[in-house]
Structure 1
C-alpha cells in the first residue's frame, strides 16, 4: 500500500468517526413525547395534541384542539377541554388562533371526588368570531384552540389519565369523551442503594503491643 492510499483511508476513517460522534450526540438529546389523536364526525375532523404525554411533576404542558370542515362552514361557540384534576390551568393561556381569550370568557372547574376530570371551557367573544371554513369535498384549513396546564404533585405517576373535548357550534354540538391523548406523569428516577458490604482497611489496635520487632531488624543487619 502506498502512502497516498494510506492517507486517504486514514482520512476516511477519521471522517467516519466524526460522523458517528455526531450521531451519538444527536441521539442523546432529550425530547418531549408529544401525543396526537384525530377523529371524524360527519363533515368535521378533529385533532387533539398534548405537547408532552409523559411530563414530570412541575412541568407545563400545552393541549391543543384543531377543527376542520368540509362543505359547509361552522361557527364554534365554545370549547371545553377535560383534563385530569391534578393539572392546574395556567391563567391567561387559553386562546383561539393564537389570540388570548378574555378572562370573562373562560370557565374553570377543578373537578370533584365523584368526577376526577377537571375542565376549562372557553367561549367565543360572539357567535361569529370563531369560524371553521369548509372546502368542498375536502377538509379546509385547521383552526385551533390551545391552553396550558401545570403538572402538580397530586398527579399520580405512571397512571394513564384520559383527556376529552366537548364543543358547541352553529351545526350542533359534540361530546368526545376520552378521545384525546392519555397523559401519564413520569415516575422520578430511582437511585439504587449499594447492595454489597465493604471491609474496613484500618488496623486493629488490639492485634499487637505496638512495639517495634527489633529481632527482625537484628537478623537483617547480621
Structure 2
C-alpha cells in the first residue's frame, strides 16, 4: 500500500455548510443568532467547525469550535492547532479551551494557536476521543458589514498537517450598529435613517 502523504491536500469530500438560522433585519432591533456549521473529510479524518452566530452585531461575542474525529481504527495525536480569523475579531482572554480544559494560546491579529504536549490529545474512532477546540472573539466595529468574512484552521498531528484556512464557517457582520451613548441598542432605525423620520 502506498504511504499516505504527510501533507494533507484538499478535502476528499465537498465541505457542506449548513446555516441554522436566519437574520431578520426588520426584527426587534437586534440581530437574531444564526449558528452555522461546516463539515468535511480528509482521508479518515472528519472535521466539524461551528460558529455560534454567523450574523453578529459589532460588539457581540461569538464562539468558534473545531471538532476532530477519526473514521477508521488509526488514532491521531494532535500537536498544534491554529484557529484563523479576520483581524477585526479580537480574542476573548481565557476563552481558548480543548473540551473543558483551559489553554494558554498564542494570540495574533490573524490566529489563536496552541501547541500540545505529547500524548495530551489523541483522536480515536470513539465518541469519547473526539476533542473539540473552542475560542471566543469579540466582533469589532471595524469589521466590514454585509460581506462574508472567512474563518478556518490549520493543525499538525501524527498523521500529517492540514491547511483548511478557508473552510469556514464564514461570518457576515450585521448592518445594525452597536449600542451607543444615545441609549440605542443597534436598532433597525439606524438602517432607515436615510429615509427621514417622523416628528
TM range (shorter): 0.7 to 0.9
Displacement, 1:176? 0.8
Q: CA RMSD in A?
A: 2.4
Match of 2:77 in 1: 75
**Larger Rg over CA atoms:** 1
Q: How many residues align?
A: 157
- Mapped partners of 1:94, 1:145: distance in 2: 7
Match of 2:41 in 1: 40
Q: More strand by proportion, 1 or 2? A: 2
Displacement, 1:177? 2.2
Gaps of 5+ in 1: 1-27, 111-117, 199-222
Q: Does 1:187 align with 2:175?
A: yes
Alignment TM-score, normalising by the size of structure 1: 0.65
Are the aligned partners of 1:87 and 1:150 in contact in 2 as well (CA < 8 Å)? yes
Q: Does 1:97 align with 2:76?
A: no
Alignment TM-score, normalising by the size of structure 2: 0.72
2:150 is paired with a residue whose SS is: coil
The residue correspondences of 1:133-144 to structure 2 (distance < 5 A) are 133-134=124-125, 141-144=129-132
Displacement, 1:123? 1.5
Detail structure 1 runs of 4+ shifted over 6 Å in the superposition: none
Are the aligned partners of 2:90 and 2:137 in contact in 1 as well (CA < 8 Å)? yes
Gaps of 5+ in 2: 1-27, 177-187
- Mapped partners of 1:170, 1:194: distance in 2: 61
Q: More helix by proportion, 1 or 2? A: 1
